[in-house]
């Protein structure tokens, strides 16, 4: 009997979550990597067979079908996968193809931010632009609010008989969570 695993990924959109989840499978992929060599894209029978058979690699073959030039309607006819999901995969593949054409020279901080929000890893961006990971990284934004602050709601007990829900927001470089919690707890208590 074969065991079945699962992976969980969280992102701002489906595309980011999908690509993070694929990397989380730990099978050596950096996203929607092609499984078929480009010379096999013309072999419609083999591609259709891969699309019809529901196997673990099917998601990669869906992307390969878009790379081979099949339309969304043709892929839907073969797979019965909801068109919304197919559009999301098609958008990722089209973005990959645009990046292959323009290369790393056209990347700037805004383009990289958009690609990162779609879930592209540095390794995948380097593969697509025929460059190295280090050549992609200099475009990464250095000063971002996400890197500095974290906030959230937690249940705190802090020497109190009843738990309280408080909001924490701390600078990752300066404050320790316990210091900030005590500060928030004291402010609530005086109020």
Which structural domain range is residue 172 located in?
A: 145-190
Is 84 among the domain residues? yes
133 plus 48 within the same structural domain: yes
Q: Is residue 8 part of a domain?
A: no
Q: Is pTM beyond 0.75 here?
A: no
Distance CA(178)–CA(129), nearest Å, equals 45
Residues 92, 30 share a domain:
yes
Q: Are residues 175 and 110 in the same domain?
A: no
**pLDDT tens digits along 19-66:** 999 988 888 888 898 888 777 777 778 888 889 988 888 999 999 999
Residues 77 and 128 in one domain: yes
User: Same structural domain for residues 170 and 105?
Assistant: no
């Amino acid at each position: 009997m074969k065991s079945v695993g699962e992976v969980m990924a969280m992102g701002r959109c489906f595309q980011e979550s999908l690509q993070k989840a694929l990397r989380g499978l730990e099978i050596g992929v950096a996203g929607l990597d092609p499984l078929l060599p480009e010379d096999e894209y013309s072999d419609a029978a083999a591609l259709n067979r891969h699309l019809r058979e529901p196997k673990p690699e099917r998601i990669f073959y869906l992307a390969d079908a878009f790379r081979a030039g099949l339309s969304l309607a043709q892929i839907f006819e073969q797979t019965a996968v909801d068109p919304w999901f197919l559009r999301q995969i098609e958008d990722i593949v089209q973005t990959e193809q645009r990046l292959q054409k323009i290369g790393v020279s056209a990347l700037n901080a805004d383009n990289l931010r958009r690609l990162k929000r779609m879930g592209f890893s540095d390794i995948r961006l380097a593969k697509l632009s025929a460059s190295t990971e280090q050549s992609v990284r200099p475009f990464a934004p250095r000063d971002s609010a996400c890197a500095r602050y974290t906030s959230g709601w937690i249940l705190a007990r802090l020497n109190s008989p009843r738990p309280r829900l408080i909001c924490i927001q701390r600078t990752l470089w300066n404050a320790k969570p316990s210091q900030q919690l005590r500060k928030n707890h004291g402010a609530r208590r005086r109020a």
